[in-house]
A and B are shown apart, each in its own frame.
Chain A
């Protein structure tokens, strides 16, 4: 079996801080008075609501239908009444709202009758549809719809299925506790995934700082007695749990940015996703609950089994939020996002809720100039030169930043973690990326506007030509005045004389229109500063150039 582990460059070793939240077993959290279930909890299309305000729902009932195949369903975690369908604040750094179904639980927790689904006999496509309708998405944080990844693609098979239990970020222990509690079902889920992907081997990987979980998984693997399944313990080093880093450690394969790991014969899922697949297929359970670590500046750090849609405040209340908390974070201390709103709900992506205090995570010290010490380059797991990215991002030299492979940055935070100058490096990359995206959007908009404009000009030209051709044909059909000289002078002389009064009329009308236009325009441009005038002139100049250009570029056929 697997006899050699590989390594990735860089990485850091922060204090794991995992013991506090693993002392107590996972606690099932009581339902809150109101559940707020966002319709859009995954990558892809926003589901359409299937319920209306006032309707009653049962536990496990679908309340949002997937919008196309790149989407996933959303379900009610318990029975109750829909009291609102409206935008609610999301657990996102922006604090923006997004459509959500608000349910008041009736306390009976009546479940919907589950339709039996014989996945053993079902075709892979049917299983994928079933998983999409069960709302199974990646629970490691990316929430990519799982059914899309459970497809071996053109080749029809996969070499390695990686089940990711590395959980490398400090403080987060939800996967650790899940692996300790339900190792058999995680592996059973993994074996279903193996079947769907036609994978030769399954590697369940976790970091060596989780010995209890490793023991539990290994015992479960022995009990299953499947020779193609192996539990692999990898060295603890952040970000070993990043999919690309873990694939590199296990197989030596480096999946470049922009490529899919399936092109390299590897597919990777989180342990909790494997369990969700098992529960969906074996028990018909839709994804309505997940394990959330509540840690940091709380009295009782712990893992909670929570209904999706539970307000975050409800979890912090259960764990006992300490009064000197200055900030709430969803995710870990390396990549987590700041939460502006404590009443935002737990979503499928919520793996950890972290309370921060000035003593736990000190506010950053003032930024000093970069001294090019290269610590960031040594820490970067993507083998980038972070200080070069920083120089170019800071100078708004985005082209250069892209040449230095800005978009290969996974924003793991290692560079900022080691920076002696305390530069918030990742913020610079986020800024540069969003600027580049914004420019690309602008450019796309400008491109399509230009195309529309050019097409309009081309159509006008074509219509003119067609009219001229028709006219010429009509004239040619008339008896020629001077057959020897050809139709051209005839068309020139005869109609010109005939149309003279008409032409004069048209010209007079156009002159009137021009005068009127100028009068109106003058009103707007009377009291202009020289700068504004210069601007207008420049715009006129550009417009003239653009029309010249489009005139020469326009299609000629």
Chain B
């Protein structure tokens, strides 16, 4: 015997997760096009690791394995980890990162829906703290042949300098530390029209996928708008004050993880704020902290740290931003009841 409502919309967690995976495809395709097929191998390794860890944890926790594996959430985590990482990392790093995300980041907190931190960002932070050198080596745009890439991922001899270089954010940071000004650094071939050469296209592809999520009502406008707006605002103010030391808003919007973060990371419903006003505060603070880390911190990009910092604040943000309930928005005319 079950009760009303007997009608249910045709929707499921699986459908939500699969839509997110589909929305990631444009950016994945762009990255593969620009940086080579290493990413596809990374995705495969991360997916296999995530599914294996998920199944192991579910059975340890005596939960129905098949149903939960089918929800697709582990795959979303795996793909997000893979796209954040440099595509030529050795395979065991991806395994470490992904299993940390699933086992510690997700299941030790109670599994799907219970994790306070974004699992993909946890994995990213663990790896960048543990292996900072490897994590900053991105292949150059000229790329290398597929066989070499696969060989590297699978643990072959690495002749790093031949094919890898710094990301634009890295190059900017190093340049500025070396007392060059922004304009001079931007002359380097690593930079394109707006941000990093190639990177700007990846960022736009993330934006396109994000718009798809918006159109399909998987996410609401609040987080991307507040995220990008706040990033443009703080970087714009700094840039107007001192353009020789601070990069332009266009650069910050299209470099590093800004677009990915705005549409795919900060919008993770489980670890993010849930109220409309809370989402605005949550996303704007991530952008602010990320910019601060980029401008003054020890790491070239700060999205991951900013997301984790704000994840901790979510319960507080949610409590303080509860929207008014129907009938309680204004005082009743007689000033009486409740």
Residues of A within 8 A of B (CB): 8-9, 12, 14, 93, 170, 244, 248, 254-259, 263-264, 327, 329, 331, 333-338, 356, 361-366, 368-375, 377-378, 381-385, 387-388, 404-405, 408, 411, 413, 416-422, 424, 426-427, 430
Nearest B residue to A257 by beta-carbon distance? B327
Minimum distance in angstroms from B115 CB to a CB of chain A: 10
Query: Contacts A8-B326, A369-B114, A383-B325 given: A420-B15 contact, CB under 8 Å?
Result: yes
Contact of B11 with A374 in the complex, beta carbons under 8 Å: no
Contact of B2 with A254 in the complex, beta carbons under 8 Å: no
Contact of B1 with A371 in the complex, beta carbons under 8 Å: no
* Contact residue among B4, B113, B272 (Cβ-Cβ distance under 8 Å from A370): B113
Q: Chain B residues near A334 (CB, 8 Å)? A: 4-7
Contact of B9 with A337 in the complex, beta carbons under 8 Å: no
Contact of A263 with B333 in the complex, beta carbons under 8 Å: yes
Minimum distance in angstroms from A416 CB to a CB of chain B: 5
* Contact residue among B3, B68, B322 (Cβ-Cβ distance under 8 Å from A424): B3
Contact of A368 with B338 in the complex, beta carbons under 8 Å: no
Minimum distance in angstroms from B62 CB to a CB of chain A: 15
Cα-based distance from A193 to B329 in the complex (angstroms): 30
Counting CB contacts under 8 A, is B177 at the interface? no
Cα-based distance from A368 to B71 in the complex (angstroms): 9
Chain B interface, >50% SS class = loop
Counting CB contacts under 8 A, is B8 at the interface? yes
Contact-residue bracket for chain B: 35 or more
Q: Chain B residues near A170 (CB, 8 Å)? A: 7
* Contact residue among B114, B322, B334 (Cβ-Cβ distance under 8 Å from A263): B334
Cα-based distance from A370 to B13 in the complex (angstroms): 9
Minimum distance in angstroms from A418 CB to a CB of chain B: 5
* Contact residue among A338, A387, A420 (Cβ-Cβ distance under 8 Å from B12): A420
Cα-based distance from A26 to B326 in the complex (angstroms): 37
* Contact residue among A257, A370, A417 (Cβ-Cβ distance under 8 Å from B5): A417
Q: Chain A residues near B64 (CB, 8 Å)? A: 366
Q: Chain A residues near B73 (CB, 8 Å)? A: 371
Contact of B16 with A254 in the complex, beta carbons under 8 Å: no
Nearest A residue to B271 by beta-carbon distance? A372
Minimum distance in angstroms from B319 CB to a CB of chain A: 10
Contact of A420 with B11 in the complex, beta carbons under 8 Å: yes
* Contact residue among B16, B274, B323 (Cβ-Cβ distance under 8 Å from A420): B16
Contact with A along B197-231 (1 / 0, CB 8 A): 00000000000000000000000100000000000
In B281-327, the 8 Å CB interface with A consists of 318, 322-327
Q: Chain B residues near A383 (CB, 8 Å)? A: 323-326
Contact of A263 with B5 in the complex, beta carbons under 8 Å: no
Q: Chain B residues near A385 (CB, 8 Å)? A: 274-275, 322-323
Query: Contacts A258-B338, A368-B67, A372-B270 given: A356-B6 contact, CB under 8 Å?
Result: yes
Residues of B within 8 A of A (CB): 1-9, 11-13, 15-16, 64, 67-68, 71, 73, 111-114, 220, 269-270, 272, 274-275, 318, 322-330, 332-334, 336-338
Q: Chain B residues near A418 (CB, 8 Å)? A: 9, 11
Which 3 interchain pairs have the tightest Cβ spacing?
A256-B327, A413-B5, A369-B113
Q: Chain B residues near A378 (CB, 8 Å)? A: 220
Q: Chain A residues near B6 (CB, 8 Å)? A: 327, 329, 333-334, 336, 356, 361
Cα-based distance from A413 to B4 in the complex (angstroms): 7
Q: Chain B residues near A362 (CB, 8 Å)? A: 8
Q: Chain B residues near A426 (CB, 8 Å)? A: 3-5
Cα-based distance from A468 to B272 in the complex (angstroms): 71
Minimum distance in angstroms from B217 CB to a CB of chain A: 8
Contacts A/B (CB < 8 Å), 14 sampled: A244-B327, A254-B330, A255-B327, A264-B332, A327-B6, A333-B4, A366-B67, A371-B113, A373-B16, A385-B274, A408-B325, A417-B7, A417-B9, A420-B12
Contact of B4 with A337 in the complex, beta carbons under 8 Å: yes
Query: Contacts A377-B274, A408-B325 given: A363-B11 contact, CB under 8 Å?
Result: no
Cα-based distance from A338 to B337 in the complex (angstroms): 34
16 further A-B contacts with Cβ under 8 Å, apart from A382-B327, A385-B323, are A248-B326, A256-B327, A259-B336, A334-B7, A335-B5, A368-B67, A369-B113, A369-B114, A372-B274, A373-B269, A374-B269, A375-B11, A388-B318, A411-B4, A419-B8, A424-B3
Q: Chain B residues near A371 (CB, 8 Å)? A: 13, 16, 73, 112-113, 269-270
Cα-based distance from A372 to B73 in the complex (angstroms): 13
Contact of A369 with B112 in the complex, beta carbons under 8 Å: yes
Q: Chain B residues near A408 (CB, 8 Å)? A: 325-328
Contact of B5 with A259 in the complex, beta carbons under 8 Å: no
Contact of A421 with B5 in the complex, beta carbons under 8 Å: no
